[in-house]
Structure 1
Amino acid sequence: MCHEDADGAFGRQSASPDSPSRRAFSRLLLAGTGLAALSACTPAQPFTPSGTPGSTPEPTPGTGGATPTAAAAPSNSPASTPSAPPTPATSSAVPPSATARPPSATAPGPKHSLSDPTSPWVIVNKHRPLSPATFVPPDLVRPAVRLATSGEAALLNSTTAAAAERMFAAAAAEGVIITLASGYRSFATQTATYGSYVNSRGRAEADTASARPGYSEHQTGWAFDIGDGSGADAFTPQFKDRPAAIWAKANAHRFGFVVRYPWMLHQITGYFYEPWHLRFIGIEAATDMKSRGIGTLEQYFGLEAAPAYL
């Protein structure tokens, strides 16, 4: 599980990118629509939360106010192939045309590559695999934060690690404990995880639950999953109501992070709402996205939507 073997270490350590870990997955269902949730970063063993789901989150701008209730998928039973996800109610959820000037063109601060995996603006989605596919960040370190994982999953690239340290410390100063639940994931780990889904459920269903090798943001070192200090509701829809998720949604931009897979924008990102998955893009860009109410990196950088693999 992404949240097991917490060692509570707070000292940053250099680490080899080959450290073993196992990426975890869970399946989510949107009860209001009967759709299986796509999840880029969920536990390998199905996780059924105790209690009832929390209140539904506020919709991200451009969703038309739709707020279906989400629930965790039943454990130990293959899910049926989901029907096509609903189209967001308003056209504002559609990313700008590739020929239009994207919002990022007027963003403050330096500009970066969208394809270089060492760039904080690299875009990895179902239309844009990493190049090279087996990329390994050259500067992986273990950040000095509270951990809820171990091995390679406790690593981030050095820039993301430093920003995470500042963010976790700021949250703690306000009485909110955030944990690092899953960070770097190697190509080999992703290959094994995705392959197990294909072998048990077939490729079509595997694509709704697991990123293909070379298509995961976790492999870049720029993204990680957070947990709450209580350990409750990890990788479930209810996590949105935990103090860590609430604080991160309101404050992550101050440290250069965005919630990568926002509410009801799955037809753009390819993944349903993941309030635990943060992505570093830099303070200027993250703050600019926040102030403009832009929900996805695809919209911000003027890229096409990537709801499914090409």
Structure 2
Amino acid sequence: MLALAACTPDSTAPSPAAADAPTASPSATPTATPSVTPAAAATSTPPSPSPSPSPSSAATTQFSLTDPTSPWVVVNKHRPLNPQNYVPADLVQPKIRLAVSGEATLLNSTTAAAAEKMFGAAAAEGVIMTLASGYRSYSTQITTYNGYVTSSGQAAADHASARPGYSEHQTGWSFDISDGGGACSFQPCFADQPAAVWAKANAHKYGFVVRYPWMFHEITGYYYESWHLRYIGVEAATAMASQGIATLEEYFGLEAAPDYLA
């Protein structure tokens, strides 16, 4: 299956299952925005089978959907980061198993703390999980995206790599996992590996969701990425899991973003 992807760790030739590179600098204590609701942020109704609940009905604390320091910031093909060259102010290296080096080992401090708890819980159950790709700067994403454009053209690049300023990895709220052995890394078959199976069932307990779920590419803009986890907080992640809501777009009442607007 040829996959549109949001998680490309480098600028090598396009891979059918890897493509996103975000840049973000969430603070350890995100700024709450009590008045924000999905209805206020939406410009159209997403193509979901049932109405999306307002976060206010599922979470007691509300956060901004546009501030990159917010755990609820939504970054997709319709919603670039503002500023586009945003850099998280509190990047740290979590105390977990690493499969990368350099800036890719970094997360914002809130996400790092939650990741340490989640990786520890997985290890306690005999599941090996490693950090395969964390923070990616705006400049790194420029290099990655331009590499795709040079090798395959812009149309193909837009289906393989997030444009600079449109990647969740830049926020520090997202990261990719692997199993420590490289089995099916950044490939569709990773969904069947123990690390991905465990994360899908348990990540919400630590505040994470699988950002690009199976068969929701017409909403998220990317095919299934079982390795890409996104922190939104335990309360919101648990609400999504318990209510069977698959995407942030649906949960927050935002329009689908299958393609860039221009």
- TM superposition score normalised by structure 1: 0.72
Q: What is the aligned counterpart of 2:163 among 177, 201, 212?
A: 212
Separation in structure 1 between the aligned mates of residue 118 and residue 213 of structure 2, nearest angstrom: 20
1:31-50 correspondence to structure 2 within 5 Å: 36-44=2-10, 45=12
How much does 1:202 deviate? Answer: 1.5
Q: Give yes or no for contact 1:168–1:178 (8 Å, CA) kept in 2.
A: yes
Larger radius of gyration: 1
**Equivalent in the alignment of 2:84:** 133
**Equivalent in the alignment of 1:245:** 196
How much does 1:135 deviate? Answer: 0.2
Amino acid at match of 1:42: T
Q: Give yes or no for contact 1:194–1:213 (8 Å, CA) kept in 2.
A: yes
Separation in structure 1 between the aligned mates of residue 255 and residue 94 of structure 2, nearest angstrom: 34
Q: Does 1:227 align with 2:193?
A: no
Q: Which has the higher mean CA deviation after the structures are superposed, 114-123 or 224-233?
A: 224-233
Corresponding residue SS for 2:202: helix
Higher RCO structure, 1 or 2 (CA under 8 Å, sep 6+): 2
**Equivalent in the alignment of 1:17:** none
Separation in structure 2 between the aligned mates of residue 201 and residue 149 of structure 1, nearest angstrom: 26
Q: Give yes or no for contact 2:9–2:133 (8 Å, CA) kept in 1.
A: no
**Equivalent in the alignment of 1:4:** none
Amino acid at match of 1:130: L
Q: Which has the higher mean CA deviation after the structures are superposed, 156-165 or 233-242?
A: 233-242
Amino acid at match of 1:144: K
Separation in structure 2 between the aligned mates of residue 151 and residue 192 of structure 1, nearest angstrom: 16
**Equivalent in the alignment of 2:260:** 309
**Equivalent in the alignment of 2:110:** 159
Alpha-carbon distance change, 271 to 47 in structure 1, aligned in 2, over 3 angstroms = closer
Q: Give yes or no for contact 2:13–2:148 (8 Å, CA) kept in 1.
A: no
Q: Give yes or no for contact 1:125–1:270 (8 Å, CA) kept in 2.
A: yes
Corresponding residue SS for 1:37: coil
Bigger share in helix: 2
Separation in structure 2 between the aligned mates of residue 43 and residue 260 of structure 1, nearest angstrom: 16
**Equivalent in the alignment of 2:121:** 170
1:134-149 correspondence to structure 2 within 5 Å: 134-149=85-100
Q: What is the aligned counterpart of 1:94 among 43, 47, 70?
A: 47
Amino acid at match of 1:41: C
Q: How many residues align?
A: 233
- For residues 251-277 of structure 1, the C-alpha deviation after alignment (integer angstroms, 9 at most, x for no partner) is 000000000000000000000000000
Corresponding residue SS for 1:206: helix
Q: What is the aligned counterpart of 2:144 among 182, 193, 209?
A: 193
- TM superposition score normalised by structure 2: 0.85
Alpha-carbon distance change, 132 to 96 in structure 1, aligned in 2, over 3 angstroms = farther
Separation in structure 2 between the aligned mates of residue 304 and residue 228 of structure 1, nearest angstrom: 34
Alpha-carbon distance change, 101 to 252 in structure 1, aligned in 2, over 3 angstroms = closer
Q: What is the aligned counterpart of 1:107 among 55, 58, 61?
A: 58
Separation in structure 2 between the aligned mates of residue 239 and residue 47 of structure 1, nearest angstrom: 18
Separation in structure 2 between the aligned mates of residue 154 and residue 297 of structure 1, nearest angstrom: 25
How much does 1:96 deviate? Answer: 8.4
Q: Give yes or no for contact 2:66–2:74 (8 Å, CA) kept in 1.
A: yes
Amino acid at match of 1:264: M
How much does 1:230 deviate? Answer: 2.7
Q: Give yes or no for contact 1:258–1:281 (8 Å, CA) kept in 2.
A: yes
Separation in structure 2 between the aligned mates of residue 94 and residue 47 of structure 1, nearest angstrom: 29
Separation in structure 2 between the aligned mates of residue 284 and residue 125 of structure 1, nearest angstrom: 22
Separation in structure 2 between the aligned mates of residue 211 and residue 47 of structure 1, nearest angstrom: 12
**Equivalent in the alignment of 1:65:** none
Moved over 4 A (4+): none
Separation in structure 2 between the aligned mates of residue 218 and residue 241 of structure 1, nearest angstrom: 23
How much does 1:103 deviate? Answer: 3.3
Separation in structure 2 between the aligned mates of residue 47 and residue 234 of structure 1, nearest angstrom: 14
Cα RMSD after superposing both structures: 2.0
